[in-house]
Amino acid sequence: MQTNEVQRSWALVPAFLSLVDDRPLDLLELGPSAGLNLVWDRYRHVYSTGVFGDGPLELRGDDRVPPPASLLARPASVARRRGVDLNPVDVTTDEGSLLLQSFVWADQANRLERLRAAIDVVRGDPPELIRGDYVRDLPALLEDRVAGAQLVVFETASTQYLDHEQRNALHEAMHDAGRAEPFTFLTTRSHAGNDYYTLEAVAWPSGEREAVEHFDFHGAWLRWMR
């Protein structure tokens, strides 16, 4: 699935910050395509309660229930950024950049401008994008950890395309890896009739779920719940 809505980063940031402790983050995204949301800490995110980040791309939206100011003031550092995708897009090439832009309707000028700015940010220091099937490859990826870092696995709108067997395999891999060393999985869940995602934090190995927020499919608004 070649989708890269960088505005979703604005919705994801409070969730990432809510997980931060005294360790740097070891990020692993499932289905990242070009990895634009893997560099969320390099954008400037504006909320009614404060600002996080100081990058060249500014993201803002309708925070109907905003994250607390104390959360946005938390410092966050990232030790590693990885993503695994069946068909990752390399935006450091002209071909990859043009391919990604071709997925945006020509009359969506603001969205296209935002995408181009995000591509420039990624080109400055690209995340590691791995070509592969993340259901099959996840056990090995979860075993490869950065010592002293906090592993956070996340996805937006990719696991909804998995069948029942694939979902079970994904959960089994996470449970097994969490027994070796606990980690958190941030995942979106959609419900029939709703025009938004519920973002959940799943603690492994227990599998305990906590609803973190609701946000618009493209990240235009959010309701913070923690």
How many domains in the chain? Answer: 1
Q: Which domain holds residue 203?
A: 8-224
- Report d(CA 187, CA 199) in Å as an integer: 6
- Report d(CA 222, CA 224) in Å as an integer: 6
For residue 98, what pLDDT band results from cuts at 50, 70 and 90? very high
CATH number at residue 207: 3.40.50
pLDDT of residue 19: 97
Helix (H, G, I), strand (E, B) or coil at 132: coil
pLDDT of residue 218: 92
Encode 98-119: b = buried (16+ Cβ within 10 Å), e = exposed.
ebbeeebeeeeeeeeebbebbb
pLDDT tens, residue by residue, 56-81: 999 999 999 999 999 999 999 999 99
Report, as an integer, the average pLDDT of 170-187: 97
pLDDT tens, residue by residue, 102-161: 989 889 999 999 999 999 999 999 999 999 999 999 999 999 999 999 999 999 999 999
Question: Helices in the chain by DSSP H: which ranges?
Answer: 8-19, 69-72, 94-101, 109-124, 134-143, 164-180
* Position 79 in a domain: yes
pLDDT of residue 6: 95
pLDDT of residue 121: 97
Q: How many CA atoms lie within 13 A of 222 on its CB side?
A: 30
* Position 1 in a domain: no
Nearest CA to 133 among 86, 187, 83, 81? 86
Instruction: Output the pTM of the full model.
Output: 0.96
pLDDT of residue 192: 86
Residues 37 and 8 sit within 8 Å (Cβ to Cβ): yes
* Position 28 in a domain: yes
DSSP 166-225: HHHHHHHHHHHHHHHS-EEEEEEEE-TT-SEEEEEEEEETTTEEEEEEEEETTSSEEEE-
Is the pLDDT at 4 greater than 80, yes or no?
no
* Position 187 in a domain: yes
* Position 2 in a domain: no
pLDDT of residue 14: 98
- Report d(CA 140, CA 143) in Å as an integer: 5
Q: Which of 102-116, 161-175, 206-220 has the lowest mean pLDDT?
A: 102-116
Q: How many CA atoms lie within 13 A of 69 on its CB side?
A: 3
- Report d(CA 79, CA 81) in Å as an integer: 7
Is the pLDDT at 86 greater than 90, yes or no?
yes
* Position 150 in a domain: yes
* Position 102 in a domain: yes
Number of Cβ within 10 Å of residue 144's Cβ equals 11
Is the pLDDT at 2 greater than 90, yes or no?
no
* Position 66 in a domain: yes
Q: How much is the mean pLDDT over the chain? A: 96
Q: What share of the chain in percent tops pLDDT 70?
A: 99
For residue 3, what pLDDT band results from cuts at 50, 70 and 90? low
pLDDT of residue 1: 42
pLDDT of residue 191: 86
Is the pLDDT at 23 greater than 90, yes or no?
yes
pLDDT of residue 30: 97
